Chains A and B, each alone.
Chain A
């Protein structure tokens, strides 16, 4: 497990995997736009659910985040979201706040990085 507070030095997105899955630049840009619209709200929902120890919503928000992160091959963060989903489903509160911090750190640079994809892929 990556220590809490760790900031990844390399790219957050698994570029090879992402471009293999979404080989259409226009589609990739569209997905990134959707991600940028939905992700902050979902992360906020998760943060609030964790703060309230509202396990049902921890599970639901983590599940949704996991799907979006996997879609864009944000592999490490998706693993953390999956762990939070499991905690929510099983009602495991110990370690939940730490897992959320880890997720926050893993995605801290994500949005700017995704912007580079839309620029990089342009002809």
Chain B
């Protein structure tokens, strides 16, 4: 019970301190909206908008979560306030879950922006919304843990942002958003299956347009696997680098 009081208060503190700050709310809306608008306005038909929706949601979540974690973790580490958490009688894993829970919620919020825009531009009937929510949630979890892994590996916010781009941009190009996986050169295709976003976008494609090509069970299992792996790497890094 005491650990959960700590968990809840770390989450609430981060929400107030970072995620609910007006600049971050604005940024969390403006970024996915402008990105989505850019795609949607270029599309010719309402059907195109629907085709682009899974990718737009995936990108919004990926960029939103990784960027915010780079700030919340790295900044607190640099100001040494993160030490307060490490010195508290709370297990490291629960502590990291508390620090990432805010980013996961922020990711869900980011994903809502493209959906709201698409509502005005196309018919969203026939979408498997439960599957969308599950897919978005898992993309948010894996992206957050990817951001966590990056944030605990570097010392400065700018390093975290730069390092994030090494993962984010290749994932965006390889996940099937711009080029369908089947059309990728054969030497690149294995790489796309190493990117968690590929499975997340495929879950959303199958929920929105029923045109995913990876079996749903495989995609969910892959995202869960990536989440566990990234979290484990982060936990090892925290215990090795931060508790020196």
A binds B: no
Residues of A bordering B, CB below 8 Å:
none
